[in-house]
Amino acid sequence: MAIDRLGLKNIKVRFNSNDEFDIFAVQGDTQSRGFSATLVNPETYEVIKPSSNYTLQLVAERPENPGEYIVTTGTIEDDHYIVYLSTNMLINPGPLNLQLVLKEGDQAVIRSAPWTIQVPRALDIDGLPIQGEDIIVDYTELRAQMTSF
């Protein structure tokens, strides 16, 4: 598996369901978390081949900023769409509302049900990580000092 595929989660999207697509993403992740989405006909369960006439978008909204949306547009790769969570989506820890939208041109054709993921805080975001310093104890020197008491 290529390194740029490590954070992708394979999902099957049936737009007539309440499917929630859980994905693990950490505050500050950059173009490394996303979905490899296969569209499925909800009646026949057949795979719907991607078409260049359609785009799949991932729309995000933070609960503390209702009505402010962050959107990424996916690409087509073989028989699925690839769509990533953007850095702006993952800039803050906490809940993140997501929704997939299939569009033809500028018009939304169909949307998934919205769902929410939790974005954990990254430990190194608030400042540069400090390199730990190992304490090396020379027991020979320590023993020599202790016997001199």
- Predicted confidence at residue 133, as pLDDT, reads 58
| The pLDDT of residue 137 is above 80 | no
The chain-wide mean pLDDT, for the chain, equals: 82
Residue 107 above 70 pLDDT? Answer: yes
Rounded to an integer, the average pLDDT of 59-87 is: 92
pLDDT of residue 102: 92
DSSP states of the chain as a string? --GGGTTEEEEEE-TTS---------TT--S--EEEEEEE-TTT--EE---TTEEEEEEEE-TTSTT-EEEEE-EEETTEEEEE--TTTTSS-EEEEEEEEEEETTEEEEEPPPEEEEEPPPTTSSSPPPPP------HHHHHHHHHT-
Q: What is the pLDDT of residue 67?
A: 92
